[in-house]
Chains A and B, each alone.
Chain A
Amino acid sequence: MSLIRRRFDALIIGAGGGGLRASLQLSRAEANVAVVSKVFPTRSHTVAAQGGVNAALANVLPDNWHWHMFDTVKGSDYLGDQDAIEYMCRVAPKLVYELEHYGVPFSRLDNGKIYQRAFGGQSQNFGEKQAARTCAAADRTGHAMLHALYQQNIRAKTHFFDEYFATDLIKNEEGAVLGAIVVSIQTGEAMLIEARTTLLATGGAGQIYRTNSNALINTGDGLGMVLRAGIPLQDMEFIQFHPTGIAGIGMLITEGCRGEGGYLVNGDGERFMERYAPNAKDLASRDVVSRSIYLEVKEGRGCGPNKDYVLLKLDHLGADTIMKRLPGIRQSCLTFLGIDPIETPIPVYPTAHYCMGGIPTNRKGEVVMPVKDTPEEPVPGLYAAGECACVSVHGGNRLGGNSLLDIIVFGRAAANEMIEHMKENRYRLPMNEASVEKAMDRLHRWDRKGEGETVDGLKEDLKKAMEDYCGVYRTQELLDKGVEEIGKIRDRLPNVYINDFSRTFNTARIEALELENLVEVAMCTVVSAAARQESRGAHSRVDFPKREDQQWMKHSLYFSEGDRMDYKPVRTKPLTVDSFPPKERVY
């Protein structure tokens, strides 16, 4: 197969909010930018974010960035890096106003200011009363952001490679990243994109779980690419389960429902969150609510014939509120479940929702890894932002509304750093043909004909195993078994074959490439989870129920070679304010 070669200053892999915010910054700085996306940009997963984006604008209730910072550090269960968190919370208002100028039609108050809703984990005055910090464009905030950023990019003349699938990073012997191999989904042709700087913005990996809230495209491709390049992934044991997924389907029922006054009841009709979080109740942070639901079901107080879910009650809110504020949720229930939440409570159960972990970066978006005695040495030419990155502002647990913020803040910061890097490094490094060849060999593996397992079959087994052994509730026994089972699944990969060898729109081949990434990410997640013997944020261990700051207030790093774990300290020192020392997390 001949290889097409193209050259750009900057290559952005991923056209969600993170990628598009970065490409806009670069294009406006007159860099020659290529954005590669496996789906049409405005079909990226950011489009699904309905709740909103956090910024301490203080339009509805008193607020300031320092309170936002406190909530984020506390929400992270003290695993978040406080320098990055300070940076994010401080710059948030500016970037939200900037989005407004880009054309995001935020909902408004009567006085014309941006409307802000209350989300879980938000407080005034460092942990006191509920705050209202989430800016929303009705229930289509992500959609509005993505479309506005896309239009701005078109205006700034960003070059898009739509429906191209990135397979591997290209590196030289010194470890510098030189670009990536991408494949046109339409024609099947491979292309080498050489770039002086490469940014990964490939989003999350919710598809490693059977029940999840993510679109099918969220297969952790960027994470797989990084592992194959010998770079570790950070804090991958921290998977946020959203407490209210539609039972059995995984689809999300937004926290907004509880923000509007909805609440959870168990099989006895009891409002059980009052027991677990007496103050915040149903608006306690996501890990607390998820675990509470799990416990209710585990202890036999679930609802339904199999007592395997709880109910989210909205019927007391009245038809008007539901139709006005939560129309999408009502319609989803009517369509996919045949029930009307105006009259009937919704069956819910925790669903895998968000990966707190990811590609280790510093607050400038540079990908960093331990080299000799330096724990955070930048990988030359490589950057990451958005859900695939771990900067780490979410630590052990992300607060609702902080991800849309993360992607714009660090998409922009990474782009600024890329611009700096290009100013300082004016020349392109020579291509490393050996690395190109290796990537092409991996790609050609799927041209092999033979009889064996199917992509779908292996994927199903993988997702089921992750749900069984590495879900909301974790023990050493379960996790060790998980490592063994996922290991066996990984060993079965070479025996997987596809039987479609056509060139155009060969989705079988793309799904096979995605499967390889899913397997790598799943393995990384379960190995990291088995190693962390404490409970923190979303990582909840029955056998180690306490947070152990002495031993475990550190970031984990997983290397795929030998499934090896390493650790590095949390950055507890903010940029300008005092650090928030770890405290027990009560809501």
Chain B
Amino acid sequence: MAVTNSDPTLASLRWQCRRGMLELDLFLQRFLLHGYADLNQQQKRDFIEILAFPDQELLEILLGQVSATEQHINEIAEKIRQCAAL
């Protein structure tokens, strides 16, 4: 019997979290481990949305240097940030 990924979305997300900078890898890997499972469906969609940002912009948002125009992006960014110092 073929073993499959328990959550196919999570499998694809794991690769979307592989980025060009160590800082982003740290932010996103830590969040996948410690934060993602607690998200509701809408927040999971927000997470997918924030992953589509280009690396440098994503870094600036996650570091709180700039705010996104959409409030839900800032909210998910805050959640990711909270997991960073773990």
Contact = CB atoms under 8 A, between A and B. Distances in A.
Interface of A: 39, 42-48, 140, 143, 146-147, 163, 185-186, 212-217, 249-252, 327-328, 331-332, 334-338, 499-502, 504-507, 510
A214 B21 CA distance: 7
Q: Which of A328, A505, A510 has the most CB of B within 10 A?
A: A505
Given A47-B56, A251-B23, A335-B81, 20 more contacts: A46-B20, A143-B55, A185-B15, A215-B21, A216-B29, A249-B26, A250-B22, A327-B65, A332-B63, A336-B23, A337-B85, A499-B3, A500-B4, A502-B3, A504-B5, A504-B12, A505-B12, A505-B14, A505-B15, A510-B15
8 contacts: A146-B20, A186-B12, A216-B18, A251-B26, A328-B59, A328-B63, A502-B2, A505-B15
Contact of B18 (A217, A250, A334, A337): A217
Contacts of A143: 54-56
B25 interface: yes
Given A143-B56, A502-B3, A506-B5, A335 B84 contact: yes
Interface in B52-80: 54-56, 59-60, 62-65
Interface string B1-39: 011110010011011001111111110010000000000
Contact of B54 (A147, A499, A504): A147
Contact of A43 (B14, B20, B29): B20
Interface of B: 2-5, 8, 11-12, 14-15, 18-26, 29, 54-56, 59-60, 62-65, 81, 84-85
Contacts of B15: 39, 163, 185, 505, 507, 510
Contacts of A502: 2-5, 8, 11
Nearest to B9: A505
B5 A500 contact: yes
Nearest to B84: A335
Q: Which of B2, B21, B65 has the most CB of A within 10 A?
A: B21
Given A186-B12, A327-B65, A251 B22 contact: yes
Contact of A505 (B5, B19, B22, B26): B5
A347 to B, nearest CB: 15
Nearest to A217: B18
A140 B25 contact: no
Contacts of A250: 22
Contacts of B3: 499-502
A39 B5 contact: no
Nearest to B60: A328
Nearest to B19: A43
Given A327-B65, A331-B65, A507-B11, A43 B22 contact: no
Given A39-B18, A44-B20, A216 B25 contact: yes
B19 to A, nearest CB: 5
A334 to B, nearest CB: 8
B1 to A, nearest CB: 9
A72 to B, nearest CB: 26
Nearest to B2: A501
A147 B11 CA distance: 27
B64 A43 contact: no
Contacts of B59: 328
A284 B65 CA distance: 31
Given A42-B54, A507-B14, A331 B64 contact: yes
A338 B85 CA distance: 8
Contacts of B14: 505, 507
A39 B15 CA distance: 8
B5 to A, nearest CB: 5
A405 to B, nearest CB: 19
A500 B56 CA distance: 32
B19 A335 contact: no
